[in-house]
Amino acid sequence: MTLLELTDVTAFYGPVQVLEGISLSVPDGGAVGILGANGAGKTTTLRAISGTVRAGGSIVFDGKDIRGSRPDQAAALGIAHVPEGRGTLGELTVRENLRVGAYLRKDRKAIQTDIDYCLDLFPQLQDRIRSNSSALSGGEQQMLAIARAYMARPRLLLLDEASLGLAPSTAKDVYQAIKRLRVESGIAMVVVEQNANLAFTLVDSATVLETGRNVITGSSAELKGMDEIRRAYLGG
Ligand SMILES: Nc1ncnc2c1ncn2[C@@H]1O[C@H](COP(=O)(O)OP(=O)(O)O)[C@@H](O)[C@H]1O
Ligand SMILES: [Mg+2]
């Protein structure tokens, strides 16, 4: 079953059109990458899905056209967005951030179980549970941002450059944990990454954007085999 389908999605900032008709298809439980250079429109595509930028075209989630939904409506439908720059609440502790992630949930009893799961997924957060998130390292903040999104128990997770600014070994740890989360939770994912090597460890398929358009879409195996992808995104 298809969980999310974008067809001919457009978006503007003021008078400037930055998405020129994006397509994207995410199977239920699938993980799809969005690759491309700086400014290609990756972040704006995620914003269109989570309702944080106004979009044209069609955005169908779980059989409903959600284009034009507000961010809180998209969240209530099960779409969790981990934005570029992480967006954790710096004045709140790690535990408080995790609780905020669960604010829409009615199953209060399962929340502690899920906090324990997050701490098992990201053991570094266990030692920092009472620290303000502003005191965490970049890697720990990224882990907290992902864990907080998971606390909403979403059906779809939007991840924007989870590896940005992290040491290579930390980025690898973060992606290992996301992979484990994917397998254990079955949450579908849209993964924006500049580091295509990392993205391909997680996603089944991907699309490459250039100036607000899809230029290549294919399975991870197909894309990894293409010379132009290797040259542009895989360092060889
Ligand atoms: N808030 C904004 N206001 C005006 N232009 C923006 C804004 N955010 C992004 N843009 C422009 O939109 C285009 C796409 O940006 P973005 O989606 O952030 O690309 P990416 O995430 O692929 O780097 C770029 O040309 C960028 O400069
Ligand atoms: Mg971006």
Q: Which residue has the tokens 């609780």?
A: 99
Q: Which helix (H) or strand (E) holds 21?
A: strand 16-27
Ligand 1 mean position, distance from CA 190 (Å): 18
- Nearest ligand to the CA of 164 is 2
SS3 96: helix
Please work out whether the CB of residue 36 comes within 6 Å of at least one atom of ligand 1: yes
67 Cβ neighbours under 8 A, 6+ residues apart: 9, 48, 55, 56, 57, 58, 59
Using an 8 Å Cβ cutoff, are 22 and 6 in contact? Answer: yes
- Residues with a beta carbon under 5 angstroms from ion ligand 2: 42-43
Measured CA to CA, the distance from residue 154 to residue 183 in angstroms comes to 14
Distance 116 CA to ligand 2 centre (A): 31
107 and 143 Cβ atoms separated by less than 8 Å: no
Position 179 scores a pLDDT of 98
Q: Which atom of ligand 1 is nearest to the CA of 212?
A: 14
pLDDT at 89: 82
Residue among 43, 190, 207, 214 to mutate when testing ligand 1 (max atoms within 8 A of CB): 43
The answer, yes or no, to whether any atom of ligand 1 lies below 6 A from the CB of 47, is no
**Residue 227, pLDDT score:** 86
Ligand 1 pocket residue status of 41, Cβ below 6 Å: yes
Backbone angles phi, psi at 17, to 5 degrees: -80, 125
Rounded distance from Cα 122 to ligand 1 centre (Å): 31
pLDDT of residue 91: 87
Q: What is the pLDDT of residue 71?
A: 96
pLDDT, position 1: 94
**Which DSSP state fits 40?**
S
Q: What is the pLDDT of residue 104?
A: 86
Residue from 7, 46, 20 nearest 192 by CA: 46
Nearest ligand to the C-alpha atom of residue 213: 1
Amino acid symbol at 183: V
Question: Closest Cα to atom 2, ligand 1: which residue?
Answer: 13
Half-sphere exposure of residue 9: CA atoms within 13 angstroms, side-chain side: 30
Q: Give me 137's structure tokens.
A: 């390292």
Q: Tell which residue, 70, 126, 139, has the closest CA to residue 98.
A: 126
Q: What is the pLDDT of residue 236?
A: 58
CATH class of domain segment(s) 2-87+156-233: alpha beta
Provide block-wise average pLDDT over 10 residues at a time, the chain (236 residues).
98 96 98 96 98 97 97 96 85 94 88 97 96 94 97 97 95 97 98 94 97 97 89 73
